[in-house]
Structures are given as C-alpha cells and as structure tokens.
Amino acid sequence: MNVHAYAAPAVAEPLAPTVIERRAVGPNDVLIEVTHAGICHSDIHTVRGDWGPQPYPLVPGHEIVGVVAEVGPAVTRHRVGDRVGVGCMVNSCRACANCRAGQEQYCLSGMTPTYGAVDRDGTITQGGYSTHVVADADFVLRVPDSIDPAAAAPLLCAGITTYSPLRRWGAGPGKRVAVVGLGGLGHMAVKLASAMGAEVTVLSQSLKKQEDGLRLGADHYFATSDPDTFTQLAGRFDLIVNTVSASIDVDAHLSLLALDGALVNVGAPAEPLSLDVFSLIGARRSFAGSMIGGIPETQEMLDFCAEHGIGAEVEVIPADRINEAYERVLASDVRYRFVIDTATLR
C-alpha cells in the first residue's frame, strides 16, 4: 500500500512530501489511519545526524494517534474504529527477561524503533508523519476517548518518557521534584508530577514561561541563567528530571539534590555530559538515565492521563509547516508540542 508521508531526503536536509510503501496487514498487524503525529526533539536530533548515520529517506514521527482501519485475523486487542496510538517502538524480541517484564524498551536484543530501524521483515521502519502506519498489535496502545486526539499524540513519547522515571523514583506527596527545561517533555513532566501529588519546581533558562509553568501545575519556577537559583535551591530536591536537549552543567544541578536524591537524564544531547564524582559522593546522590517506557506502563500512563484529564498543550500544524516547526523547537520556541494534522499530507 502506497501512502503519503513527509521525509528527510538526506542528513540535515529539509523534510519534503513523499510517498512510501506500507507492508500488507499481517495476521497480528493493525492498519492505522493516522490523524495526528507529534514532533519530538528526537525526530530533529535523528534527521540532523546528532545520533549518528541514519537510513534516508527517513520519515520521522513516534507520537502517533489514529483510528484502526483494518486488523489481521489474529488481533484480539483492537477493533476497526478504535482510537489507538503508537509510540517509539514497534517490536522487540518478546522472549528476553526485560521483554517478559514489560520493559520492551530495554529488550536485550534491541527493540525496533518506530523509524529508521530494520524491521523483522528486513524493511526499514518509517514513522508517523504519514497518513497510515501498519504496526504489530502488541505495540499498539488504546487511546482513551476522553483525551483529545491531538493532545494525546505527545503522550506516546513525551508523556511516557517523563511518567516512567517519575513513577520509578517515587514522585508523589511529600516529594520535591524539579523539572529542567519546559519544552515538550518538560511540560508533560510538570503536569504528571503535579497530578501524582509532588511539589513541582520548573528550572527553565529564563522566566519567560513562568506563568505557563505555574498554570500547568508547578508550585515554583526558577531561571537557571540566574546564579542565585543554584544557591537558593541547594540540597532541595528528591528528584530532578532533566529534559534538556543540549548539555547542562551536571554538577550545578546535582548540588540541588538532597541526601539520596537522583538526577535522571531523559534529555539526549549529541555531546557527552561530564561530572565531578564529588557531586555524588557528598550526599549519596545518583545520576541516572531513563528511556521511554514499556508497553504496559505506556497504557497505564494513558489511562492515568484520562483519569486526571491530562493531555499535552499542542499547536496543531499542517504538514507544510514541519520545517518551520523544527526551527522553532531548536530555538526553544514551542508551547509546548507541535502536532501535525496528518490529513494535510493527502
């Protein structure tokens, strides 16, 4: 099946309309008519070559929401007409310890990313900036009807990527959580941590988005460009989730952690980060990382969002504004996620 899509033709080149082929619907596959696709900063890192060479042409997009158009004969979890989503992975080995524990993102044989990876059938996966996707039913999520579909799309990456470490490191009542960077991931971290009952602080480069941050659920808002921030907040937080797409001063941020506190990096900049181990030793602190979340936890996050009335703050754009949106994300000029109306791809 040939479908309309938007692809990067080569590294760091502007995306352009194209037509790609989707595989025939297999026994356990779902054909999804995509309605919305979020623009994640990871899409930009990938097509700009920040994370190494990629196969081109490349259709990005791993925050996919749509409606089931067809199911294979073995599919029991999804029906034609259901609202569904696909996130950052479309397959894994399903047999290793991590897969069996529902942590498919850490599959010991390597999970299959939604785009730019070799799929089981040897073809290269292509993402959600497209009118249709075909995905294995086990990697397709149910999107509750109460969440607006445009606002639901970013949950498939930005939502789960922040929900998972917040849960893992115990965000909740009595915990002080800081979120570094108020972009796509950051604004979801604020909403989710606040819904979990934590005391939430935003650490942004400036105070420009302070009003938004407080409206989204933050209790406090500080600018990291102000050196006083780091003296005022020293030793304060139990958990810091760093969502910044560039390098930060890790030691300065570690100094904000209380005894046994953790700085969890979800931001994935091109350059390595470095730290002074004394920043950890002095208060038994941890520096950790976290990658998206498993399929069961992603479903749990979607249901949590439905229960708490949470969606992303989105700016819906037509496909011909994708390149402009990329520039705006790079300039931290996003409130707070661009989402492509994929009907405009036709």
CB atoms within 10 A of CB 135: 27
310 lies in the site for ligand NAP, by CB under 6 A: no
Task: Name the segment binding ligand NAP (CB under 6 A); options: 7-15, 65-73, 139-147, 239-247.
Answer: 239-247
**Which of ligand NAP, Zn ion, none interacts with 96 (beta carbon under 5 to 8 A by kind)?**
Zn ion
User: What share of residues in the chain are helix, strand, coil (percent, to 5)?
Assistant: 30, 25, 45
- Give whichever of 30 and 202 is closer to ligand NAP, judged by the CB atom: 202
- Give whichever of 69 and 207 is closer to ligand NAP, judged by the CB atom: 207
38 lies in the site for ligand NAP, by CB under 6 A: no
**Which of ligand NAP, Zn ion, none interacts with 99 (beta carbon under 5 to 8 A by kind)?**
Zn ion
* End-to-end alpha carbon distance in the chain: 14
Task: Name the segment binding ligand NAP (CB under 6 A); options: 140-148, 249-257, 296-304, 326-334.
Answer: 326-334
CA–CA gap between residue 311 and residue 337 (Å, rounded): 11
- Give whichever of 20 and 202 is closer to ligand NAP, judged by the CB atom: 202
CA–CA gap between residue 161 and residue 154 (Å, rounded): 10
Three-class SS of residue 206?
coil
Strand partners, 65: 36, 85
- Give whichever of 99 and 240 is closer to Zn ion, judged by the CB atom: 99
Strand partners, 130: 5
Name the residue with tokens 């979120």: 179
Question: Is the separation of the CB atoms in 264 and 239 below 8 Å?
Answer: yes
Least spacing, CB of residue 107 vs Zn ion, in Å: 3
**Does residue 336 have a cis peptide bond before it, meaning omega lies within 30 degrees of 0?**
yes
Interface residues with Zn ion (CB under 5 A) are 40, 42, 92-93, 96, 99, 107, 157
- Give whichever of 130 and 245 is closer to ligand NAP, judged by the CB atom: 245
Name which position in 229, 286, 323, 332 contacts ligand NAP (CB under 6 A). 332
- Give whichever of 93 and 207 is closer to Zn ion, judged by the CB atom: 93
List, in order, residues 6 or more apart from 262 with CB less than 8 Å away: 169, 238, 239, 240, 285, 286, 287, 288
Three-class SS of residue 89?
strand
- Give whichever of 16 and 93 is closer to Zn ion, judged by the CB atom: 93
252 lies in the site for ligand NAP, by CB under 6 A: no
205 lies in the site for ligand NAP, by CB under 6 A: yes
For the packed helices 184-195 and 158-168, what is the interaxial angle rounded to 10 degrees? 40
41 lies in the site for ligand NAP, by CB under 6 A: yes
Q: Pairing relation of β-strands 83-86 and 141-142?
A: antiparallel
242 lies in the site for ligand NAP, by CB under 6 A: no
**CA 174 vs CA 137, 177, 200, 241: distances in Å:** 39, 10, 11, 17
241 lies in the site for ligand NAP, by CB under 6 A: no
266-285 residues near ligand NAP, rule: CB under 6 A: 266-269
329 lies in the site for ligand NAP, by CB under 6 A: yes
CB atoms within 10 A of CB 73: 10
Least spacing, CB of residue 113 vs ligand NAP, in Å: 11
Residues interacting with ligand NAP, by CB under 6 A? 40-42, 45, 157-158, 161, 181-186, 204-205, 209, 243-246, 248, 266-269, 290-292, 329, 332, 334
